[in-house]
Amino acid sequence: MAYLDRYLRDRTLILLSNREPYEHVMRDGAVHVRQPAGGLVSALDPTMQQTHGTWVAWGSGNADHESADSEGRLMVPPDDPRYTLRRVWLDAEDIEHYYLGFANSVLWPICHMLIQHLEIRDEQWLRYRDVNRRFAEAVADEARRADGTPMVWIQDYHFALVAHELRNEIPDLFIHQFWHIPFPPLDILGLLPMDVLEAVLRGMLGNDLLEFHTRRYAMNFLSCVEYFMPDAEVRRASLSVEYDGREIFLGVFPISIDVELYENLASSPAADERVRELRERYAAGPNQLGVSVDRIDYTKGIPERLHALEVLWERYPELRGEFSVILVATPSRTDIDAYRQLEADVISTVAEINHRFGNPDWTPIVLIHENVSSELLASIYRAGDLCMVSSLQDGMNLVAKEFIACQTDERGVLVLSRFTGAAEAIEGAVLINPFNVDGFVEGIRTALAMPMEERRRRMQRMRVQLHDTTIFDWMGAILSRASELMTRNEPSPTSP
Ligand code: GDG
């Protein structure tokens, strides 16, 4: 990670995310440290260890208070302290209105353009604003304590207002933000109440650099600014905005995964054994295995996928018994009604399909309805003849990339929704439109019928692309661009 020293030099990285990298939890009368699962934490933690910066996040563990000082600070990793974690405390109402409410029941559906799930409540917005202010104060405090010149890097839609708040506190601070989900076109963002909409755009324009997965999301942001913020001047050619006497740059940085980590997980001796067992059980002889992995979220198109599978087995009876699916569907955001409803729907639809087509010797869909270990996940990816990603909208979709990384035998076909950032980042998948059930069914058929030679050719091509664009390339590209802009903003040293 030599690039970190090159880009950061004497700068101190202050990272802000909703999820914290280490959580203290009380279990069986003792305090345990847990690293929440998730690609982002595992990619950013080594960076923070290297840079010795500060990570600001919500202290979500039930023993977090006791393990931090009176300001919520502690050194992590707990058994090898390398950087500071600053925890911000949220109470039950904050979680209900800021996190489950405005972030996940307003911004999430709006940004994914799935507005049938939208319900806007004043209380949620007011709490979101208040919590964003508190996080901004904590980051400002850390910036004032920093040894080197601070560079603040905000993660995601939970903190649309933080950059603006921070800039009010420390006008010269360098701030950038990565937006992990799509950014919607103006007719959709326009569904927000006007004061909320303006505050969100103004908040995001508090950054010096705003990072998106695709050019389309960046262009949507520019159109929204142009339309709703008459004081701002949009410059499409340079992907920038002049606002409030400052220039804000946009950048396109498609996120990726730690490719080697997944390859190693998929090719360990234990994985060899698991893959052999999975194939023997579900894909013996001419039989084939389809796989899919998602958090249970209405953006992921799980009902649409189940419907396509039902039509497939109905229309092509010869595939019954010959094609099975392992569907990993992990419970998520279960405090929100729409998610609980979706979870119940997924379980009952799988049962109906299995009842309709299955027999004592064959279960069409094997539902794994719990969080599985990354070791098992990697084996499932490797064992698959095809992987179905059918998101209705998805910023990037890391599952598609994980499947490619784990396909060390190069037998699998990626059936991928064209409404994912991944479809724009990678060439070689069979693209589908999850809203078009007949097209989706034919996409699966094409994948199942694809000759081995073509599967290999496509998979090899996708693997080369993935190796050239790992999570470390993503981080390097962002930090390089941020430090270039930071240098430009810094007053040039006066000659003696
Ligand atoms: C957001 C954006 C963007 C799922 N179940 C299990 C498990 N997972 C892991 C997957 C994958 C991750 O969760 C899901 O990542 P995605 O990218 O598919 O989707 P979101 O969670 O919605 O992420 C998305 C991403 O941010 C990054 O910018 O790509 O567009 O929506 O890593 O493997 N992992 C384990 N067990 C499970 O049961 N171990």
The CB of 293 under 6 Å from ligand 1? The reply is yes
pLDDT tens digits, one per residue of 285-331 = 999 999 999 999 999 999 999 999 999 999 999 999 999 999 999 99
Nearest-CA residue for ligand 1 atom 21 is 295
330 alpha carbon – ligand 1 mean position (Å):
10
Query: How many other CB atoms are found less than 10 A from the CB of residue 334?
Result: 10
Kindly give the confidence (pLDDT) of every residue in the chain, 496 residues in length, as a single tens digit, with 9 standing for 90 and above: 666 777 787 899 999 999 999 999 999 999 999 987 666 787 789 889 988 899 999 999 999 999 999 999 999 999 999 999 999 999 999 999 999 999 999 999 999 999 988 889 999 999 999 999 999 999 999 999 999 899 999 999 999 999 999 999 999 999 999 999 999 999 999 999 999 999 999 999 999 999 999 999 999 999 999 999 999 999 999 999 999 999 999 999 999 999 999 999 999 999 999 999 999 999 999 999 999 999 999 999 999 999 999 999 999 999 999 999 999 999 999 999 999 999 999 999 999 999 999 999 999 999 999 989 999 999 999 999 999 999 999 999 999 999 999 999 999 999 999 999 999 999 999 999 999 999 999 999 999 999 999 999 999 999 999 999 999 899 999 999 999 999 988 776 654 4
pLDDT value at residue 495: 46
402 alpha carbon – ligand 1 mean position (Å):
10
403 alpha carbon – ligand 1 mean position (Å):
12
Query: How many other CB atoms are found less than 10 A from the CB of residue 255?
Result: 24
The CB of 368 under 6 Å from ligand 1? The reply is no
Place of tokens 């103006």: 186
378 alpha carbon – ligand 1 mean position (Å):
13
pLDDT value at residue 119: 86
192 alpha carbon – ligand 1 mean position (Å):
27
Q: Which two tokens stand for residue 459?
A: 């998979």
The CB of 397 under 6 Å from ligand 1? The reply is yes
pLDDT value at residue 230: 96
257 alpha carbon – ligand 1 mean position (Å):
10
pLDDT tens digits, one per residue of 406-437 = 999 999 999 999 999 999 999 999 999 999 99
The CB of 33 under 6 Å from ligand 1? The reply is no
**Mutation choice for ligand 1 from 375, 387, 396, 403, CB with most ligand atoms inside 8 A:** 396
